[in-house]
Amino acid sequence: QVQLQEAGPGLVKPSETLSLTCTVSGYSISSGYYWGWIRQPPGKGLEWIGSIYHSGGTEYNPSLKSRVTISVDTSKNQFSLKLSSVTAADTAVYYCARDDPWYFDLWGRGTLVTVSS
Does 111 participate in binding other proteins (rule CB under 8 A)?
A: no
> Taking the CA atoms of the chain, what radius of gyration do you get in angstroms?
13
Q: Is the dihedral of CA 69, 70, 74, 76 positive or negative?
A: positive
Single-letter amino acid code for the residue at 94: Y
Task: Using the minimum distance from each CB to other proteins, give the nearer residue, 29 or 96.
Answer: 96
Judged by CB under 8 A, the residue of 20, 24, 36, 70 near other proteins is 36
Instruction: Please say whether the beta carbons of 111 and 94 come within 8 A.
Output: yes
* Binding flags for other proteins, 45-64, as an x/- string (CB under 8 A): xxxx--x-------x-xx--
Residue 107 has a CB neighbour count (10 Å cut-off) of 15
Binding residues for other proteins, total number by CB under 8 A = 22
103: left (phi over 0), alpha (psi -120 to 50) or beta: beta
Task: Using the minimum distance from each CB to other proteins, give the nearer residue, 14 or 32.
Answer: 32
Task: Using the minimum distance from each CB to other proteins, give the nearer residue, 103 or 117.
Answer: 103
- Kindly list the residues in this chain that would bind other proteins in the complex (CB under 8 A): 36, 38, 45-48, 51, 59, 61-62, 95, 99-105, 107-110
